[in-house]
Structure 1
């Protein structure tokens, strides 16, 4: 597994979801009960800022909050450009070093799943590609600890073992594979 490729595929999937935002209201519900679409897109902005900062040691200036979808596309392009320019081997998270490939994998899980959340909030079901979900699922299982439940993630949702990888990934992260909107 190439962490840069995984990040790129997650960004491409989320990019397609964010394209569905359009001019509709940003107060739409999301699968993340405490967030509306505007908060979710803001969280994606923050995630991309952190990735970019880790990849470059620099920072993307904040964009106006009036066009979150445009902000996502701008930041996603900057992250991909920074990755292709050759990121450092390690980044500091606080005072702790972290392998940049681990940062990319964390970003890939975060961005793909929130891309699904955005599509659901827009009323346009858009499954995470099966191959991408199959690669992200074991990584998510390594990244999400029990103490994350109730704080960053809801409790896992039961699904059959034979469920598709995208449904199992979403269920592991506390989401159902459909959202009533």
Structure 2
């Protein structure tokens, strides 16, 4: 493996780790009372969103390990609290990806991406959903500016019009002077000023 490739892989995994750390902070504010709230993801409750994040994390694990996980493995232990299930899966993702050193192409939906690319795409998904969770629970938890800038660059690379409206909503307009987080959220179909539920 070349040094250049190793650096790219390390950067992709490091970004995924930072995205997961951010989202783990958002999960701390989830309570049973918030699970039925609407989220910035149109048509989804917080419970539905957390189930989606669990699926995304397990897809990342599958991509890194090359095999499928048993989906109901921890369902009983975390019954009634999907945030705990997300937390446990996120912790496992960190461990699995930390040991990923290959440069094989990994099939994701209809595309084949390298390991660093998969980690980067995962970082976009996990970080933005961490923002969704926080806003749904009435918290202001901005995505760290540097991470938001990196994710925005990657989102513009990986998210195309073909992904809309099925995987992402229509792009929202924000002022040119808005922070990177707002541009990232808007590019992925979210209103950065989405009102948190009371």
TM-score normalised to structure 1 length: 0.93
Q: How far 1:11 moved relative to its partner? A: 0.3
Note if contact 1:45-1:71 (Cα within 8 Å) is conserved in structure 2: yes
Aligned to 2:96: 82
8 Å contact kept, 2:34–2:136 = no
| Match in the other structure for 1:156 | 171
Query: Counterpart of 2:142?
Result: 127
Tell me whether 170-179 or 99-108 shows the greater mean CA deviation. Answer: 170-179
RMSD: 1.7
Alignment match of 2:159 (pick from 128, 134, 144): 144
Equivalent residue runs for 1:23-102 within 5 Å: 23-61=32-70, 62=72, 63-64=74-75, 65-93=79-107, 97-102=112-117
* Number of corresponding residues: 181
In the alignment, the residues of structure 2 paired with residue 73 and residue 20 of structure 1 have an alpha-carbon distance, to the nearest angstrom, of: 12
Kept after mapping to 2: 8 A contact 1:56/1:87: no
Structure index of larger Rg? 2
**Unaligned segments of structure 1, at least 5 residues:** none
1:21 equivalent in alignment to 2:30: yes
Deviations 1:26-61 (A, max 9, x none): 111100111100110000000000001111123443
Alignment check: 8 A CA contact 1:55 1:100 kept: yes
1:170 aligns with 2:185: yes
- Contact 2:20–2:127 (8 Å) recurs in 1: yes
Determine the C-alpha separation between the residues in 1 that align with 2:168 and 2:194: 16
Q: Which residue of 2 aligns with 1:8?
A: 17
SS in 2 for 1:98: strand
CA contact (8 A) 2:22 2:130 kept: yes
Gaps of 5+ in 2: 1-7
Q: Is the 8 A contact 1:55 1:83 kept in 2?
A: yes
Contact 2:34 2:137 in 1 (8 A): no
